[in-house]
Structure 1
Amino acid sequence: MIAAAALLVPLGVGTAIAATPATATYAVTSDWGSGFEAKVTVRAGDSALASWRVEFDVPAGTAISSAWDADMTKSGNHYTFVNKGWNGAVPAGGQAAFGFIGAPGGLAAVQNCTLNGAACTGGTNPSPSPSPSPTASPSPTASPSPSPSPTPTTPPGSKVIGYFTNWGVYGRNYHVKNLETSGSAAKLTHILYAFGNVSGGQCSLSDTYSDYDKFYSAADSVNGVADTWDTGALRGNFGQLRRLKAMHPGLKVIFSFGGWTYSGGFTQAAANPTAFANSCYNVVEDPRWADVFDGIDIDWEYPNACGLTCDSTGFASFKNLMQAVRNRFGANSLVTAAITADGTNGGKIDAADYAGAAQYVDFYMPMTYDFFGAFAPQGPTAPHSPLTSYTGIPQAGFYSDAAIQKLKSKGIPSSKLLLGIGFYGRGWTGVTQSAPGGSATGAAPGTYEAGIEDYKVLKTKCPANGTVAGTAYGFCNGQWWGYDTPSTITGKMTYAKNQGLAGAFFWETSGDTSNGELISAIYNGLR
């Protein structure tokens, strides 16, 4: 057995002809009792590695649920991790790493570990139970930086990811502190900070005041400490997120670029993906806030298709752009993408090479919401986020399961897919029937935009009184609203677990109640 010394152990693998063999280091980076997160760093010795494969056994009763930066397979208690296409080649003296989460906690050792078939202590043959000397010092290949990981309170394999918008600090009066006071921060594994701009083929900030300049008093600050005006002090959302991460050490923050409004700039970015990736890296890794962000999210609506604007850069443009982003950000940063959920034949999923780009991303977030709404002002009324099809659905293929199945059919592993949840409803007015499919006269009034309203308002303004296709709807005073409730979210989380998905994500945090009803439903539903 390989026991952890100070939670770092040389697993070691090498070839007989190398004076300095390749090695691997196992590190437990988080342990919360019911689960754990660990990282293995593979380091080449005197000879470069063209590829790598790590295998080991875990004790009976232990299970690894998901991994990143490696493709994982299992047979009983034996696990195999093979490099991705982009991190297989390791130069002499260089290193690559992958991470995983499992349950229960306390896995300070793995058994029968091999890398490329050699023993884990640098020998040439697998050892049945290698163990370092009690006086062995930690390997110099100890984990250089934390791997993508959930917060310690989150069960293994259950990503809970939410968008936080930089404009929410204005009219919505929603701040980082609200994530803490609602109890939501402890249930989130990742925050998507939305949005950075994409203009002229380059990444840039969209609101410097809310991003890093807005002053927070002690009363409004997430940790009760006021900002300062000292030179170099980080204020605004970035400063607050830095403090939130200190309060929740496992929480990851990803900077999202694009979205509906800013996606037009991706067309020019596709003409020079390397220049685009460099510009994004310079924004995300700006020394003033580099510690705040753990990676980048690309929200291109939509490659080789139409959103607010139309793109015709071709089937391969998305793959090429994601490859450039991964190359620039490297193996230890999160690279993710929010993508279309159009599951129709010949639709937006078919328009771009999402399968080819999957090797470069840690996970995809198909936007399984906004299928229907008062952008068709006369109706028919329909839930904007149906999980399944139903009799009378206005358009075939416009439902969540269709998108998930289509993406999986293209070879994208379910462990790289999340289910999207809207923390809002879409509604019509001038409706005379409670059942879906009724006609309307236009968009129902909303607090910020006609036809859209937050869940926290709808739960009392127009309580749900029916369900269809795994989601809810309310009919009141001539208005018809489709939206998710804690109950329907629980059902959708059961679906996510049955499909082997990585978890769920949602748009967006300010739509929830002050005590985080919907985030709690996601979190509890994935347990």
Structure 2
Amino acid sequence: MSTESPRRSSRLRWRLGPGRATRAKAVAGFTALLLPLAAMVGLASPAQAATSATATYLKKSDWGSGFEGQWTVKNTGTTALSSWTIEWDFPSGTAVGSAWDASVTSSGTHWTAKNLGWNGTVAPGASISFGFNGTGSGSPTGCKLNGASCDGGGTVPGDSAPSKPGTPTASGITDTSVKLSWSAATDDKGVKNYDVLRDGAKVATVTTTTYTDTGLTKGTDYSYSVQARDTADQTGPVSGAVAVRTTGGNDNPGPGTGSKVNLGYFTNWGVYGRNYHVKNLVTSGSAEKITHINYAFGNVQGGKCTIGDSYADYDKAYTADQSVDGVADTWDQPLRGNFNQLRKLKAKYPHIKVIWSFGGWTWSGGFGAAAQNPAAFAQSCYDLVEDPRWADVFDGIDIDWEYPNACGLTCDTSGPAALKNLSSALRAKFGAKNLVTAAITADGSDGGKIDAADYAGAAQSFDWYNVMTYDFFGAWEAKGPTAPHSPLNAYAGIPQDGFNSAAAIAKLKAKGVPASKLLLGIGFYGRGWTGVTQAAPGGTATGAAPGTYEAGIEDYKVLKNSCPATGTIAGTAYAHCGTNWWSYDTPATITSKMAWANSQGLGGAFFWEFSGDTANGELVSAMDSGLN
């Protein structure tokens, strides 16, 4: 009986790639900038005409477990203020402790500060401040001063404020710039201009619905939103925010690595029949040449992230000879299994980032429920990935949804926006310092899976996509025609238009996904047929060729000896031995594919999965040298 996990054996038809970072412990600190709160959030419509005054917030200091906050009220009008009240919201987990120079109360997460008897009057041009000690790390949102806009926009009787503009979309992202576009706001008297907000602070005011922000830092995360002003200078609510990461930069290079991502999948079930363990990454030399590991898989059940295999993940006891550092697990240690071995690997190779991947071919059915409540899904994933027992092991999360608004093992009908909604919720919860990635389809055909979901919109929240550019063809079509399962480009006689790596990458780029956010996929295995008499691709077959764990699929480390390559087509190798016909990548074809990825400006490459490589990691080596 095969000992191969059903999660691997079922990763066959319509896969277009088998699915799939030290956790960044530092929480993004507040920059001590005086920011108008109206520039951070959508504002409630004031109930009365606004007094000419503003309220601004300053985080004066942050000591990790708490911070000192300060609000400043400034009278920008010509008559004195007789009193002031500031209202705002803090996210759950952030709260006011002791306060001075104001009376501060709360109702849930909504906070209200009122002047004391001696500081309610503010003369024209004057300011008054109050402060407090707080806990948590959140920013205030929803600011109102005396019921009006905190930026002084206010309202004019009989003149409505502008509507909320559309959430910006980002394009043309470079190392130092990004172009933003958004749909227009509306107003009963006309929109005058738009404030462009970067990380909550106004960076420009424009009269059009586009803006190019320049002078940015490469490899850096930014958040953009916009706010409309009408002809009376009233401000409307702030739009939704788009997350942008500039290209270039890589603070995680390790020995033998350059600026490109070289990511490999490690499967939790590999520790069983395959007898492949984290230590094998060390003995093969692969650990020195990779930048990231995707740990596969966590499950998705009831719209939540859950453990995939608790025994392999964190309970299996390792002997000294199996352990990364040569130290055996004890019966009473708090963490064992793969998670503890990955912790040891990261201690030995600190450049490696580990990402926990959820879903996959078998477990993608849970994403439909997740899409119904993205925030709850993101919270469940964060709670699991950041569990104190192993929070230091993981540097982020990867989702392998096969496929949004399309069919895989089951059919999803969540709609084109579901992936974008999910990615936005994950980014909001995991923050800028954690990696958030996704494995996606490589179906570049017209009306295919790439067209079924908003991959460009979702890319704004993801660090990158693992484009599953393999499993295009295989013995699920038992009679053939034989075809390479991972063609780099089209060729005469290819069974399906759009089923090749170049077509998939081109389509994603055309839709607006930055090339730097695309990783090219490589399979460390082959797919094959039997009953084949024709050596060249396009022959007929009688069924799937026999394999070690399942018919029709075999590891590269086996095929390189049992059925050596006899030719190449579309940038990949094929082999005809006896009546069996196989296609797979070799060090030579991987080298050429990496050169192509570099020429396309891709962010790097990834592979499925480590155990298919040779004992000395020759495929990983080819990827490393080809990328760098």
TM bucket, shorter chain:
0.7 to 0.9
Distance 1:290 1:84 in 2: 37
| Match among 558, 561, 569 for residue 457 of structure 1 | 558
Q: Secondary structure at the match of 2:392?
A: helix
1:232-251 maps to which residues of 2 (within 5 A)?
233-251=334-352
| Match among 495, 509, 524 for residue 610 of structure 2 | 509
Deviation at 1:328, TM superposition (A): 1.2
Q: Secondary structure at the match of 2:356?
A: strand
**Structure 2 runs not aligned, ≥5 long:** 1-30, 36-53, 61-68, 73-138, 142-169, 183-196, 203-215, 225-248
Deviation at 1:282, TM superposition (A): 1.3
Tell me the residue number matched to 1:228: 330
Tell me the residue number matched to 1:292: 393
Query: Does the CA-based 8 Å contact 1:149-1:189 persist in structure 2?
Result: no
Distance 2:217 2:395 in 1: 15
Q: Secondary structure at the match of 2:174?
A: strand
Q: Secondary structure at the match of 2:382?
A: helix
* 1:51-72 deviation line (CA, Å, top 9, x unaligned): xxxxxxxxxxxxxxxxxx9986
| Match among 302, 305, 327 for residue 428 of structure 2 | 327
Tell me the residue number matched to 1:152: 254
Tell me the residue number matched to 1:422: 523
1:347 equivalenced with 2:448 (yes/no): yes
Deviation at 1:14, TM superposition (A): 8.1
One-letter amino acid matched to 2:557? K
How many residues align? The count is 426
| Match among 263, 287, 290 for residue 161 of structure 1 | 263
Deviation at 1:228, TM superposition (A): 1.6
Tell me the residue number matched to 2:273: 171
Aligned identity (percent) is 65
One-letter amino acid matched to 2:404? P
Distance 2:255 2:179 in 1: 28
**Structure with higher RCO (Cα < 8 A, 6+ apart):** 2
One-letter amino acid matched to 2:326? G
Q: Secondary structure at the match of 1:73?
A: coil
Distance 1:148 1:514 in 2: 29
1:88-487 maps to which residues of 2 (within 5 A)?
88-90=198-200, 149-231=251-333, 233-487=334-588
Distance 1:155 1:215, change over 3 A: closer
Distance 1:88 1:257 in 2: 31
Distance 2:394 2:581 in 1: 40
Distance 1:80 1:398 in 2: 33
Query: Does the CA-based 8 Å contact 1:429-1:442 persist in structure 2?
Result: yes
* 1:196-230 deviation line (CA, Å, top 9, x unaligned): 00111111011100000001111110111111222
Q: Which runs of 4+ in 1 moved over 6 A?
A: 11-15, 17-23, 44-50, 81-85
Tell me the residue number matched to 2:231: none
One-letter amino acid matched to 1:193? Y
Q: Secondary structure at the match of 1:388?
A: coil
Deviation at 1:502, TM superposition (A): 0.5
Tell me the residue number matched to 1:6: none
Distance 1:101 1:335, change over 3 A: closer
Tell me the residue number matched to 1:500: 601
One-letter amino acid matched to 2:284? S
Query: Does the CA-based 8 Å contact 1:151-1:248 persist in structure 2?
Result: no
Distance 1:298 1:440 in 2: 35
* 1:351-385 deviation line (CA, Å, top 9, x unaligned): 00101101100001110000000010100000000
Distance 1:192 1:282 in 2: 18
Deviation at 1:273, TM superposition (A): 1.1
One-letter amino acid matched to 2:199? A
One-letter amino acid matched to 2:259? G
**Structure 1 runs not aligned, ≥5 long:** 1-10, 24-43, 51-68, 93-97, 103-115, 117-146
Distance 1:251 1:275, change over 3 A: same
Q: Secondary structure at the match of 1:261?
A: coil
Distance 1:368 1:328 in 2: 29
Query: Does the CA-based 8 Å contact 2:268-2:313 persist in structure 1?
Result: yes
TM-score by length of 2: 0.64
Compare 418-427 and 327-336 and name the one that shifted more.
Answer: 327-336
Deviation at 1:330, TM superposition (A): 1.2
Deviation at 1:276, TM superposition (A): 1.0
Distance 1:241 1:82 in 2: 39
Distance 1:159 1:45 in 2: 42
Distance 1:412 1:194 in 2: 25
Query: Does the CA-based 8 Å contact 1:151-1:188 persist in structure 2?
Result: no
Distance 1:243 1:71, change over 3 A: farther
Query: Does the CA-based 8 Å contact 2:267-2:295 persist in structure 1?
Result: yes
Deviation at 1:523, TM superposition (A): 0.2
